[in-house]
Chain A
Amino acid sequence: QLQLQESGPRLVKPSETLSLTCTVSGGSISKNSYYWGWIRQPPGKGLEWIGSMYYSGSTHSNPSLKSRVTISVDTSKNQFSLKLTSVTAADTAVYFCCQGDSPVDPWGQGTLVTVSS
Chain B
Amino acid sequence: EIVLTQSPGTLSLSPGERATLSCRASQSVSSYYLAWYQQKPGQAPRLLIYGASSRATGIPDRFSGSGSGTDFALTISRLEPEDFAVYYCQQFGNSLTFGGGTKVEIK
Contacts and interface: CB of A to CB of B under 8 A. Distances in A.
The answer to whether A and B interact is yes
Chain A interface mostly: loop
B56 interface: yes
Interface string B81-92: 000000010111
B1 interface: yes
A108 to B, nearest CB: 7
A47 B50 contact: no
Contacts of A16: none
Interface residues of B, number: 24
Contact of B35 (A46, A102, A106, A109): A102
B92 A101 contact: yes
A84 to B, nearest CB: 17
A52 B44 contact: no
B97 interface: yes
A37 B46 CA distance: 16
A107 B50 contact: no
B47 A105 contact: yes
A110 B44 contact: yes
A49 interface: yes
Q: Lowest 5 CB-CB distances: which A-B pairs, in order? A: A102-B92, A103-B50, A107-B44, A103-B35, A105-B47
7 contacts: A46-B88, A46-B99, A47-B90, A49-B97, A103-B35, A103-B50, A103-B56
Interface of B: 1, 32-35, 37, 43-47, 50, 56, 88, 90-92, 95-101
